[in-house]
Amino acid sequence: MNSAIVDSNVIIAEYDASDSLHKRALALRKTLKFFSIELLYLDCVMNEVFSVMARRMIERRKTTEIKNLLLEINSDFPSNIITESYAIVNTLYPDIVSKMIETNGKLNFHVLEILSLEFTTRFKKLGLINQAPTKNRILLC
């Protein structure tokens, strides 16, 4: 089976009807499905999708719609279909998405990822955790 990595601009355009690539993204998805192409979604791509979509909603002053949009994206792209490209994100993914939803997009995926990694590293140095960071799920924001 052939496969393709889906870039963030395609996913973003699918969710954003006002995106100039919206129709093309929908057509591409339909074509890939027709040819039974396996679609791969990288964690770094989803990082960008969540962050850009939250930012766009904030910029458009649609903050009351952010939670539902992030929930929809998370439902369409659960962590078990995400291909790991950076090691620890797979472990932190559910917590990062939850915190993004909880903060209504005010903290984006990338910021939460960095904060989580930082806390994990500090706790390990302090001896509060002794396993590799990928074995621990720390999100303290």
Rounded Cα gap, residues 76 and 67, in angstroms: 14
In a domain? residue 20 = yes
pLDDT tens across 28-79, in order? 999 999 999 989 898 888 989 999 999 999 999 999 999 999 999 999 999 9
| Percentage of residues of the chain with pLDDT beyond 70 | 78
Number of domains in the chain: 1
Helix residue spans in 36-105 (DSSP H): 43-59, 66-76, 89-102
Report helix, strand or coil for 65.
Answer: helix
DSSP H or E stretch at residue 5: strand 3-5
Supply the DSSP symbol for 40.
E
Give residue 89's domain range.
Answer: 3-135
In this structure, is residue 140 part of a structural domain? no
